[in-house]
């Protein structure tokens, strides 16, 4: 037993060393970033978690996905005596509802929150602090949606659960003290993707109340171009490195990682669809001020029918909401959009902002100049783990909700 423990601790030490070396070698935090050391530390910890997950999976102790899920769920929730919290099911979907214990004669606004995690990580528990904060600070009834995760439940099960939960809540809002005309959908990262997709899906529905607004927090929105200025500028900035973005997405969609180099070259986009997608996804639509940190137009490579056939599902607007037809985009509700300067997904948000405004959709845009992917999630962690940009971003979300 002692020998096994020694071997395990030795392997653990090696992985710590590798995580720090890999993190230092691959990561690049701008010198002007005021919390530079903290972001490096967060990056090292994430590399260690991913490294340990891979190691434990290979030696047969626990699968990669279950280790990473457990790591996220190990974030202890804060106690909150001011909120009434209950677990329910909206049809087949698990939800947790947060609402103030103080009596209120008028009906409150409702917020459905779709957590991030690339469709195969994250949970209600992992986002406990975020949802409590939103409920308490905005005086809203917050519904955290525990949608099913991949790979056990392949895409688009996550979207289907979010739609189911949203429709159920819209139809039963008054049972929870919520005005059905004041329901907002909200999500961060891949949860922002789900939020955009749900808002699009319900835009033309006449059998349920209209959504009051959607809140998109640094969402992934398109699979066409992974060489936009933000991908080039921020590809080595933690926590969402350029390569990691695609690796996580391909794992979510259960696709072979060997296609990664072809995706970076854009060879997955068919020749006949390129003109259509370029109307919506093009560096030409990114304001010049976002190209000052460097941008080099990428060469055009011939498309590959084989690569397209393998990755065709990622062009589904449920996965890439920026690729939805104009008639669909035109029906979405008022939008709050948060982007981060040091995020590979920044330009996804900028491009969607343009499309929404082109269709007359009111957009409240919050750009965090020192923001990075995941910063808003950090805002409620406490113990010095929160980033200033994350706190600012979450408070901007709260301020927007108070106006709904």
Indicate if 46 and 105 belong to the same structural domain: no
Confidence of residue 25 (pLDDT cuts 50, 70, 90): low
Same domain, 53 and 166: no
CA dist list (Å): 331 to 169, 219, 349, 355: 20, 19, 18, 12
Q: Are residues 157 and 291 in the same domain?
A: yes
Catalytic residue among 189, 190, 378, 389: 189
Is residue 220 a contact partner of residue 344, using CB atoms and an 8 Å limit?
Answer: no
pLDDT at 23: 46
41 and 86 inside one domain: no
Catalytic-labelled residue, pool 161, 225, 373, 378: 373
User: Which burial class, exposed, middle or buried, applies to 271 when counting CB atoms under 10 A from its CB (0-12, 13-18, 19+)?
Assistant: exposed
Q: Do 349 and 391 fall within a single domain?
A: yes
| 44 pLDDT above the threshold of 80 | yes
Res. 5 pLDDT band, cuts 50 70 90 = very low
Residue-wise pLDDT for 52-63, tens only, equals: 998 898 989 999
> Which pLDDT score is estimated for 243?
95
**Residue 378 annotated to the active site:** no
Percent of the chain, pLDDT > 90? 82
> Which range of residues forms the domain containing residue 64?
2-73
Give, for 370, the enclosing helix (H) or strand (E): strand 363-372
**3 state SS of 145:** strand
Dump the DSSP string for 282-313: -GGGS-GGGSTT---PPPP----HHHHHHHGG
Q: Does residue 321 contact residue 352 with C-beta atoms inside 8 Å? A: yes
| 159 and 281, same domain (yes or no) | yes
The DSSP 8-state label assigned to residue 269 in this structure reads S
Q: Give the residue-averaged pLDDT of 11-39.
A: 69
CB 145 within 8 A of CB 114: yes
Average pLDDT of the residues of the chain: 93
Are 352 and 281 a contacting pair, CB within 8 Å? Answer: no
Lowest mean pLDDT among 101-115, 202-216, 279-293: 101-115
Catalytic, 373? Answer yes
User: What's the mean pLDDT in 141-160?
Assistant: 98
Q: Per-residue confidence at 7, pLDDT binned at 50, 70, 90?
A: low
pLDDT of residue 319: 98
pLDDT for 17 equals 52
Q: Is the pLDDT of residue 386 over 70?
A: yes
Contact 219, 195 (CB under 8 A): yes
pLDDT level of residue 388 (50, 70, 90 thresholds)? very high
Q: What is the pLDDT of residue 371?
A: 97
Res. 314 pLDDT band, cuts 50 70 90: very high
| Same domain membership, residue 137 and residue 237 | yes
pLDDT given at position 51: 87
Q: Which of 32-41, 185-194, 379-388 has the highest mean pLDDT?
A: 185-194
Q: What is the CATH number of the domain that holds 367?
A: 3.40.50.1820
Band of pLDDT at residue 19, cut at 50, 70 and 90: very low
Tell me, yes or no, whether 15 and 143 share the same domain.
Answer: no
For residues 256-285, average pLDDT: 97
Give me the pLDDT at residue 24, please.
Answer: 47
Please tell me whether residues 66 and 100 are part of one structural domain. Answer: no
**Domain co-membership, 123 together with 15:** no
Question: Which of the following is catalytic: 343, 347, 348, 378?
Answer: 343
Lowest-confidence segment of 9-18, 213-222, 364-373 by average pLDDT = 9-18
Please state the domain count of the chain. Answer: 2
pTM, rounded to two decimals: 0.94
Do residue 135 and residue 240 come from a single domain? Answer: yes
Task: Specify the pLDDT at position 73.
Answer: 84
Is the pLDDT confidence value at 26 over 90? no
Statement to judge: residues 171 and 298 lie in one domain: yes
Coil/strand/helix, residue 215 = strand
> Is the per-residue pLDDT at 366 higher than 90?
yes
Q: Supply the pLDDT for residue 201.
A: 99
């Amino acid at each position: 037993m002692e020998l096994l423990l020694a071997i395990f601790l030795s392997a653990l030490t090696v992985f710590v060393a590798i995580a720090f070396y890999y993190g230092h070698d691959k990561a690049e935090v701008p010198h002007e970033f005021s919390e530079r050391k903290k972001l490096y530390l967060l990056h090292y910890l994430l590399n260690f978690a991913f490294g340990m997950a891979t190691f434990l999976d290979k030696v047969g102790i626990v699968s990669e996905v279950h280790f990473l899920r457990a790591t996220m769920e190990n974030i202890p929730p804060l106690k909150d005596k001011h909120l009434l919290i209950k677990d329910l099911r909206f049809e087949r979907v698990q939800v947790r509802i947060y609402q103030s214990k103080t009596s209120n004669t008028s009906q409150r606004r409702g917020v459905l929150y779709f957590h991030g995690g690339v469709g195969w990580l994250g949970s209600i528990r992992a986002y406990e602090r975020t949802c409590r904060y939103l409920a308490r600070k905005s005086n809203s009834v917050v519904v955290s949606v525990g949608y099913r995760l991949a790979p056990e439940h392949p895409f688009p099960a996550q979207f289907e659960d979010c739609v189911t939960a949203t429709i159920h809540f819209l139809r039963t809002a008054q049972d929870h003290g919520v005005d059905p005309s004041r329901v907002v959908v909200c999500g961060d990262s891949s949860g922002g993707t789900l939020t955009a997709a749900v808002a699009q899906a319900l835009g033309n529905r006449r059998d349920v109340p209209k959504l009051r607004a959607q809140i998109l927090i640094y969402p992934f929105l398109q699979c066409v171009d992974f060489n936009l200025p933000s991908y080039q500028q921020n590809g080595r900035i933690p926590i969402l490195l350029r390569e990691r973005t695609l690796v996580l997405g391909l794992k979510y969609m259960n696709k072979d990682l060997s296609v990664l180099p072809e995706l970076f070259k854009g060879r997955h986009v068919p020749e006949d669809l390129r003109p259509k997608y370029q109307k919506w996804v093009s560096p030409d639509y990114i304001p010049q001020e976002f190209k000052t940190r460097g941008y080099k137009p990428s060469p055009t490579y011939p498309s590959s029918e084989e690569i397209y056939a393998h990755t065709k599902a990622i062009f589904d607007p449920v996965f890439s909401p920026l690729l939805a037809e104009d008639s669909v985009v035109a029906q979405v509700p008022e939008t709050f959009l948060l982007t981060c300067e040091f995020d590979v997904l920044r330009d996804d948000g900028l491009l969607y902002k343009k499309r929404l405004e082109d269709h007359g959709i009111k957009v409240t845009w919050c750009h965090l100049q020192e923001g990075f992917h995941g910063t808003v999630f950090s805002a409620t962690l406490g113990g010095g783990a929160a980033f200033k940009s994350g706190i600012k971003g979450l408070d901007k979300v709260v301020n927007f909700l108070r106006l709904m």
